[in-house]
Structure 1
Amino acid sequence: MNGKVIGTVLILSGAIAGAALYYLQVYGYYHEVKAVAGEDVTLVSLSSGEPEPILYDNFQAIDADSSPIRYRACFTTTMTQATLSETYVAAEKPQPRNAPGWFDCFDAEKIGEELANGTAIAFLGHKNIHYGVDRIVAITSDGRGYVWNDLNNCGEKAYDGTQVGEDCPPRPETGQ
């Protein structure tokens, strides 16, 4: 009898812990991002090297404080890929990151396919939006846009423990 009680307690506590972990990873840390005109969708200008806002509509975004690469956004724009390509910096080797299944406007697999077949073009949205993290913006030929944060070269080195090079900015103080 005593073994059944202990076994039941262990199984229930494992199930509760598993459910809590799943909820926190998929839902718990994310929050909706409120749109701020002129700041939500920016692209780095070829001429100035600075992020500039572009025209957009139907903006939806999520983010989480637990990681700088959890940001995802969707929008539409009337700007053409030709105009954007002539004006803004293209992103190198863009790899869309998966979004939670409930954020259904952002499908990383479809975005990756569109980038691969040339119906979408990726641009640098903001360099070092967080230390070692760049914001990437992909825009399709029909005006759908997607935004995600991705590690840049400095971020990959900093987070895997290898020595960052001189071309990386100094790491900000963490207060620890």
Structure 2
Amino acid sequence: MTTARVLLSAMLLTAALAGAAMWYLQVYAFYEPVEPPETVHLATASGRLLEVAPVDFEGIDAPSSPIRYRACLRLPPEASARDLVPFADPRPPVAPPWFDCFDAAAIGEALERREARAVLGQKDIVWGIDRVLVLFPDGRAYAWNQINACGAVVFDGEPVPDGCPPLPERD
């Protein structure tokens, strides 16, 4: 074997290993199961948080980013009948393929067909990040964290816009 073939083989092997490592880190590493919470919050038009006990909760999250949260759950049907705050621009994020209860495309299609509705779970669950819930009439619900308008501006490097809460102090 010539030196060029050896170097080329080493480079291709390194690239393949790096690609496999990046794929693994994005799809499997960092994600952790979320313990079922005793209650799930839903924002009401009166400004209060409605606390509802979830059933059949399955969730994942990652400490590396506040927008990696995904959850599949069931809520009592009366929870969706309340005067909840609609979420104006829900964008269901894609979940890792192994978290198969959360199908972002199907959730998005149900929202477009008005078979489900998106509501605010909790504003600024982390500064600049809102918890979104999609509620189906049969009690199925899906949740994720989504960057809000204040977060989108600040995370792009701009100053905090008027009407947004102040940034928390950094340690």
Q: Distance in 2 between matches of 1:11 and 1:96?
A: 36
Quote the Cα distance in structure 2 between the aligned partners of 1:113 and 1:9.
45
Q: Which amino acid is 1:46 matched to?
A: A
C-alpha displacement of 1:171: 1.1
Match of 2:5 in 1: 4
Could you tell me how far apart the structure 2 residues matched to 1:149 and 1:71 are?
6
Per-residue deviation, 1:141: 1.6
Deviation at 1:124, TM superposition (A): 0.5
Match of 2:73 in 1: 75
Matches of 1:82 and 1:159, distance apart in 2: 32
Q: Would you say 1:139 and 2:138 are equivalent positions? A: no
**Aligned counterpart for 2:63 among listed residues 62, 65, 85:** 65
Aligned to 1:26: 27
* TM-score, normalization by structure 2: 0.93
- 1:46 corresponds in structure 2 to 45
Pair 1:82–1:44, CA change in 2 (3 A): closer
- 5+ residue gaps, structure 1: none
Instruction: Output the CA distance in 1 between the equivalents of 2:59 and 2:150.
Output: 25
> What is the distance in 2 between the residues matched to 1:9 and 1:172?
47
Deviation at 1:82, TM superposition (A): 5.5
CA distance in 1, matches of 2:170, 2:114: 40
What letter corresponds to residue 118 of structure 1 in structure 2?
A: R
Q: CA RMSD in A?
A: 1.4
TM-score of the superposed pair, with normalisation by structure 1 = 0.90
Structure 2: distance between partners of 1:95 and 1:141: 20
Deviation at 1:16, TM superposition (A): 0.6
Does the CA contact (< 8 Å) of 1:133 and 1:151 recur in 2? yes
Q: Which amino acid aligns with 2:88?
A: E
User: Which runs of 5 or more residues in structure 2 are unaligned?
Assistant: none
What does residue 99 of structure 1 align with?
Answer: 95
> Does 2:125 align with 1:129?
yes
Give the Cα separation in 1 of the matches to 2:9 and 2:146.
43
Q: Secondary structure at the match of 1:36?
A: coil
